Structure formats: C-alpha cells, structure tokens
Amino acid sequence: MQRFPNAFKPILDKYIKYDCKVFKLKNENNGKIRVYWKEKHGIEKKPGKVYDSPFGVVRQWELPDKLDRNDDIDYIRRRAIRELNYDNSAKIFLKFKSRFWEKDSRPIAGGSSSTDLPIRTMIYPSYYKDDQGNPDEDGPAILLGSYTWANDAAKYSPYPQKENFNIHWAGEHTDIYHAWIIGALNSAVTVVKEVLLQSGIKDKWGELLKHKLLEH
C-alpha cells in the first residue's frame, strides 16, 4: 500500500514539511485562508486552499467563523466535519489462476455481490487488459473475496464539494468511495477541477481531461 504514495515522494519531497502539526485555519481580511502549524522553532503560517486531512483531525483545529458564504452549506460542512466517523474495515483478496467467474453459464464481469454470510460483499474486477488496452484472454486474477465494515459506516454519505471561499476539501473521506484509493484519486481530480475553474483556467482543465489517467 505504501508504494503508491511513495511514488510521489521524489517529485513532492521538497514541498513536504515533516514533524509539523496544523492547529488553525483563519480568514484573512483579503478573503484568503491562512493555515497555521507548529514547528520545532515556533509557529508558521501560509496561505492554503486544499486540505485533505481526515475530518477526525480537522475537528481538533480552530476553524474560521465561516466555511461558506451560504449559511445552510456552512452548517452542513461543519456538521460533516463534526459527525463523520471512521470504523474498522477488512478486505480479503484471493488470487486465482483464471477468472472462472467470467466463464460460468451466468458470467460476471465487474460489479459486486452481497450476501448475509460473514463475507458480506465480493468485488469482481473488470480492468484486466492486454498491452493494447483490450480485455485479455484469461490469466491470473485477484478477486476481492470479502469486504466488510461496521454497519454504522453505511449511514454516512459522501461530503459534497462546492465552492466555499478558498477552502477545498480533499481525501477519500470526501468521495463516495470511502476507504478506497480510488476515492482519494477521485477527490484529487475534483479539487483540481474546482481550483482551475475557480481561477479561470478552463483551458488547462480541458487539457487535463485528455490525459489517459482521466479516461475512466
């Protein structure tokens, strides 16, 4: 699991601050949001736009008086930060020599199955392709044989993203796919789109849409 974030380290390492603790977001007079954090030598502050910290951590910060110009949305955002919780989940992956579930009389290609058995949910992969991007004939495959989580987690829907001053929330907890890497990636794409469109750089967003990473 660590290989994915570590792949970004050579590019982003010079921008990362270690051993720092964020403790406050503050509205400045110019409408900008400034983030405050503690370092060994004291307190630092810089303008910020995107925050991907889990809401369980954000709850401990001192937040601005307003998170959105709209009072209703401001209330919803604060409620999401205050109430969205985390719970245990378990994923059991099984490796098979072939995708037998695609060869049955009722083949399954992608999707999921649910049951009242202890395994609860099975996820069938649909992304096996050859070098040309076409579905490969057959071969070894990984099946998510069991995905379980606490019942309470089902009550929380994803936290919707809307323009709100200069704060943009990112992270898997803001996407419909909680606790999945795809949720983190989806939220990153959403925030990039928000920042570019809000900044009036529509052409750049159009260029990014053509990138192969956003094909799906």
Q: Is the pLDDT of residue 157 over 50?
A: no
Q: What is the mean pLDDT of the chain?
A: 75
Q: Are residues 202 and 118 in the same domain?
A: no
Domain end position, chosen among 97, 123, 149: 149
Question: Which of 147, 109, 108 lies closest to 129 in space, CA to CA?
Answer: 109
Query: Who's near 97: CB < 8 A, 6+ residues apart?
Result: 139, 140
Q: Are residues 55 and 137 in the same domain?
A: no
Q: Is the pLDDT of residue 79 over 60?
A: yes
Total domains in the chain come to 2
- At residue 213 the predicted structure's pLDDT band, cuts being 50, 70 and 90, is low
Q: Are residues 164 and 66 in the same domain?
A: yes
Does this model's pTM top 0.75? My answer is no
Q: Are residues 25 and 51 in the same domain?
A: yes
Q: Are residues 71 and 163 in the same domain?
A: yes
Burial class (CB in 10 A: 0-12, 13-18, 19+), 118: exposed
Rounded Cα–Cα distance for residues 27 and 67 (Å) = 9
Domain that holds residue 68: 3-86+154-214
Q: Are residues 68 and 13 in the same domain?
A: yes
Given a contact cutoff of 8 angstroms between Cβ atoms, the answer to whether 190 and 182 are in contact is: no
Rounded Cα–Cα distance for residues 182 and 171 (Å) = 10
- Model confidence pLDDT, tens digit, residues 23-61: 888 887 776 788 888 887 767 777 776 777 888 888 888
Q: Are residues 118 and 172 in the same domain?
A: no
In CATH, what number is assigned to the domain containing residue 38?
3.50.50.60
Q: Is the pLDDT of residue 97 over 70?
A: yes
- At residue 102 the predicted structure's pLDDT band, cuts being 50, 70 and 90, is confident
Q: Is the pLDDT of residue 112 over 80?
A: yes
Q: Are residues 11 and 75 in the same domain?
A: yes
Q: Are residues 127 and 41 in the same domain?
A: no
Mean pLDDT of 120-133: 71
DSSP for 25-67, written as a single string: EEE-TTS-EEEEEEETTEEEEEE--EE---HHHHTTSB--S-S
Given a contact cutoff of 8 angstroms between Cβ atoms, the answer to whether 67 and 55 are in contact is: no
Q: Are residues 37 and 61 in the same domain?
A: yes
Given a contact cutoff of 8 angstroms between Cβ atoms, the answer to whether 85 and 56 are in contact is: yes
